[in-house]
Each structure stands twice: as structure tokens, then as C-alpha cells.
Structure 1
Amino acid sequence: MITVVGSINMDIVAFVNSYPQHGDTVFGDKLEFSPGGKGANQATACAKLGKAVTLIGCVGEDPFGDRLISTLQRNKVNVDDVKRSKSTRTGTVLVTVDESAANTMLVVQGANEQLNIGDIESCREIFKKSKALLVQLEIPGETVIQAMILAREYGVPIILDPAPAQGITAEALKYADIIIPNRQETKYLTGIDVKDVQSAVEAAVYLESIGVEKSIIKMAEMGSVVYVKGQWEHIEPIRVIPVDTVAAGDSYAGALACALADGESLVAAAKFASMVSALKVTRFGAQEGIPTLAEVQDFCASISKD
């Protein structure tokens, strides 16, 4: 079983030709309400890829919360430990997607901020049974740390997706077994602007110097660099035509956890995760666009033929 501790949000997604500048008014093509949140997305990815997964998070007692719980259940995510807050509304994200499929987000954390250390402590039995823990940084920092401490106590591998970058702390890095930053997060962590494979390796070396021995530097269209204790390998990008990059990183994280739970090496797991995230960006929607294992297998077969 994989355990995910993280955010659960409703994404309100506007599709536009170009982003508005400060003070501008632009017209959008369409608006969608899409279940999201990094924690919920990653848990959904694990479930769609065939793994038993438990999500620990918090939503409000409101229509958004009801819909998010229902969607997670339909995707076979265990939500028994998703808390319902009577005092705070469900987290909401305003997403703008432009014609290049790039996105910007404005996050209102809402009920995500209500997930606390006590909620984590009440899930000890879940941690004991886990093969991997996935955490991100859209919930309170102390809650993330407590989840990592429990996982470490029970010998559970910890994968940290350090997003958003502003939530990164030295303490979180201390407990992470594997960290998977994108270019923006890597620059925030290391001060190194990743522009190519060599600069990604330099960033990974820096992360090792501050205690993170295993990292994957994600470089979008340039692929990724997998780094383990001084050894590294460049994973080539998979060329697709993107339509929606929302949850691409979450799909990657979930797929990575699944492969590692199956005993794959970090390099093999990264290659699988690249396949999953590449397929995701060709489809609309955060959770609805995440592929199933069968779809990923078909995608891999089609690439092999090419």
C-alpha cells in the first residue's frame, strides 16, 4: 500500500489564448471545475496505476468537498482518513491554462490548513503497512514533518515533491529519501538555474551536499536527471503534443512511487514516471486526465513501434 499525505482541492480552470497582464481583461475559451490538489492527484495516479493507496487530507463539509470525496472513491482511493472540517471551506485553486498548455495557479488552501499532527498520529497503523509515503507542501509544514517522522520510524521510503517551492524547509529535506523538484523548485533550493543536463547534475550535487543523496531533477521538455550518491543518468524526454500540464508532476510522483513499491530501481522508476506524465499532458483534466496502467502500457507499446 502507498500512503499519500497532502492537499485536496477543487480546481477552477480557465482556458485562454494568453495570460492577462496586470490590470488586463482577457476572454477565456471555457471554464471547468476539476477535482485536484497535489495530494489527491498523486493518490489518484497511484490508484489508476493499480496500487492500493490511502489518502490523508482534509476537505470542508460543503459541495466541493462532497464532489472531491466522491471522485476519489470512484477512482478507488481509500478516503477513510480524509477529515471533514465544519469551520473551513474546501481548498480551491484558480488555474489559467494558455494555448501552449502552460499553467499558472492561485491557491486558497482552505481546509487543507486544518490537517494537523494529531490527524497524522491517529494513522500510525496505516504507516506501518505502507511501502512508500508521498508528501508535498500544500498542507501545514509541521503536519508534513510528522508524516515523514512516522514513515522514518517504520522504515517507509519517503518521496518528497517539494511543491510549492515556498514551503520547502531544511527539516523536510532532512527526512526525505528522494526529492523530485522541477526547475523552479530546484532553483529555489539550490540557487542554480537548470538550463541543461550539466546544470541539473550540479544542482543534484548541491542537494547531496545538504543531505539529499537521491534526487530527480525534472526538466520538462529536456527530460530529467536521476542522481544517486554521486552517480547520475539523463532520462530522455518523451515527445508529445501537450494540451494540459495540470497534474503532470503529480502523475509523475504517483507513478514513481508505484514503480519503487514494485522494487524497481530509481532509474527504471523514473523512466516509467516519464511515460505516465507524458501521456497525462496529452489529456485534459487533473485527475480525469491521469491514465490507467493499461493506457500507459498501450502508450509504451505505440512508442516502441515508432
Structure 2
Amino acid sequence: MEPTGVLVVGSITADVTAFSRRLPRRGETVLGDDFTLVLGGKGANQAVAAAHSGAPTWMAACVGQDPFRDIVLSGLETHGVTLTEVRTVEGRTGVAHIRVDASGENDIVITPLANASLDEAMVTESIERVRDRVGVLLLQLEIRTEVACHAARQGAAAGLTVVLDPAPAQELPDDVWPYLDIVTPNESEATVLTGVQVTDLESAERAAAWFLERGVSHAIITLGAGGALSVTKERTRHFPAYAVTPVDTTAAGDAFTGFFGGALAAGLDVDTAIQYGMAAGALATTKAGASPSLPGRDEVEPLVNTSMEGATR
């Protein structure tokens, strides 16, 4: 039997979020409406989403020795993520300061702290320990770039399907791209990485071609309300977005990638996995917060079943 698990190598943060009617201008102070302190980090969010999809999920990451450690580890464990590959290191747990306005738009400042302690040796050990139980490796770029690149190479060597969510967007060595089976940037990340200003489906397809030219097998450009564009050498397919009323878009991309990875690990075809990711991402925008907004499979499946007929071009 093929392994059905997911390994996430990435960041864990304590998310400190302030909600206000609008975001302050430079130098301005505004009154907020609410405040939350919850588990976050792109890696942790994707691990929770993958676990919610039903996939056995492990996370390789680092946390500090402070009160935030217990908050984030408890959050991961509650959501069903296996913690055997999470290390406690000296110093403080990573923190993200998030501001969200009434329309659901946000800005974020991330302080990596313990996340910067995750190193190549730790990643190699984690992949070796779980490789027989996982089929998909999920990566992001909130850990040190060289560690993420090492994880991609090690994951490919172990025969895993390697999926990179290239956020925050940053330049990667040319030799890393061929180790990536799938990349899932949003329009702004695709713009930064490729130099193509992504504003519509045509420009998204040109950005996707940039990834394929560098050796990536499959590029999925997520476009928010514009849906997602899936591009391989064989075909291009557009998946329309599900219509929802957004409250907070913070973890939409993580919900997409986590559910997408979980669906792939379960043996679903790529198109169906994209539909699961799209539905999860849409539902995540309807609730406030990062990890608290991540939907369960019981919420996602009915939305997927309502249908999404993509247009093949």
C-alpha cells in the first residue's frame, strides 16, 4: 500500500492578531475591535489543514522555551498533527503580528526566532524517520531558504511528491526547481518570482511557464477570487473560485496547500486535489484567525461536491 501521510517542513508561530475597521496609515494609531493569540505559521497552518483533510500528518519544525511553546504545541496536537519531529530549542518561539481590516485584508510582520534554528541535519533525520509513512512533502519559505532547499532535495531523493508554497516569495537557486513537483504561488508571489505581472489568466499562464521552464513539473497559480490556474506541459486548466463572503484571508493559501497535499497523499488525482484545496481556501476566508479558520473535511467535501467544472484550454 502506498503511504498516505504528509510531512510538513516549515514554520510554527504564535499569531498575535488585531482586528480593526481599517488598517492604520503610516504613523497613525487606530482603535481595534478584537484581538486573538493562536497557533500560526505557514508550516503549522498547512499541517493543520492536511490533518483536517484526513491525512496522517507530521511536522518538522522548531519552537522555543517560552509560554508560547505550550500554546502552539497544544494547538497542533489538538488538530491531530504528530509532534515527534518538532524540536524545542533555546530562545523564543516564532511570532507573527497580523492586522486585519473589516474587508478581511491583512498585513503581517513575522519574527522567525526559533524557526531559524531548524537546520539541514534535523530535516534529513525527520525525512528518514517518516519516509515510509508519507507520500507528500509540503514546504514554505518562512524557514531559512537553504534549509527549505535541502528539504526539497532530500524529499525528492526519498521519492516523495514535493510541493512548495513559495511564501514569502524570494529568489531560489536555479538547481532547486527541478526537485519540486508542484509549486503553488499566489499572484503576488508569482509576480515577484517570475517578473511577470500577474493580473489575469493570460499573465498567470506566462508566470506558470516560467516555473516549468526551470524544471518544475506543475505550477498552480492561485488567484483569490479569480480561482486557480493549473499548468503542466500537457495542459492548462482554470478552476473558478467558490463564492463566499470573506472575513479574514490570512490562512486561505495555507488551507489550499494543506488540503491539496492531503488529497494527493490520499491518492486522489491532481484535479480533484485542487478542488479540495480551492474549497478549503474559500471556507478559511469566512472565519477570523489563521489556524482557527481552517475548515474540516466535513465542511469541505459538501462544497467540493457542489461542483467545479474547470475549463480546459
Q: Taking structure 1 as the reference length, what is the TM-score of the superposition?
A: 0.95
- Say whether 1:107 aligns with 2:110: yes
Deviations for 1:211-265, whole angstroms, at most 9, x for unmatched residues? 2231001110111100011410010111100001111100100111111112222
C-alpha contact 1:205 1:230 (8 A) present in aligned 2: no
**Which of the residues 274, 281, 286 maps onto 1:270?**
274
Identical positions, percent: 35
**Deviation of the 1:144 alpha carbon:** 1.2
The code of the aligned residue for 2:98 comes to V
The code of the aligned residue for 2:182 comes to I
- How well do the aligned residues superpose, as a CA RMSD in angstroms? 1.5
Who is 2:295 aligned against?
A: 291
Deviations for 1:134-168, whole angstroms, at most 9, x for unmatched residues? 00001112221222122111111100000001364
Matches within 5 A, 1:216-255: 216-255=220-259
Where structure 1 has 5 or more consecutive residues not aligned to the other structure, the ranges are: none
**Which of the residues 175, 180, 184 maps onto 1:176?**
180
Q: Taking structure 2 as the reference length, what is the TM-score of the superposition?
A: 0.93
- Say whether 1:213 aligns with 2:226: no
Aligned counterparts of 1:289 and 1:266: Cα–Cα separation in 2? 24
- Say whether 1:73 aligns with 2:81: no
**Shift in alpha-carbon separation, 1:206–1:18, aligned structure 2, 3 A:** same
**Deviation of the 1:302 alpha carbon:** 6.4
Who is 1:92 aligned against?
A: 95
**Which of the residues 6, 9, 18 maps onto 2:10?**
6
Where structure 2 has 5 or more consecutive residues not aligned to the other structure, the ranges are: 309-313
Who is 1:193 aligned against?
A: 197
User: Which range moves more in the overlay, 263-272 or 107-116?
Assistant: 263-272
Aligned counterparts of 1:60 and 1:167: Cα–Cα separation in 2? 28
User: Which range moves more in the overlay, 295-304 or 188-197?
Assistant: 295-304
- Say whether 1:161 aligns with 2:165: yes
Aligned counterparts of 1:255 and 1:186: Cα–Cα separation in 2? 21
**Deviation of the 1:16 alpha carbon:** 1.3
SS in 1 for 2:33: strand
Who is 1:117 aligned against?
A: 120
The count of residues paired between Structure 1 and Structure 2 equals 303
C-alpha contact 2:134 2:265 (8 A) present in aligned 1: no
Who is 2:153 aligned against?
A: 149
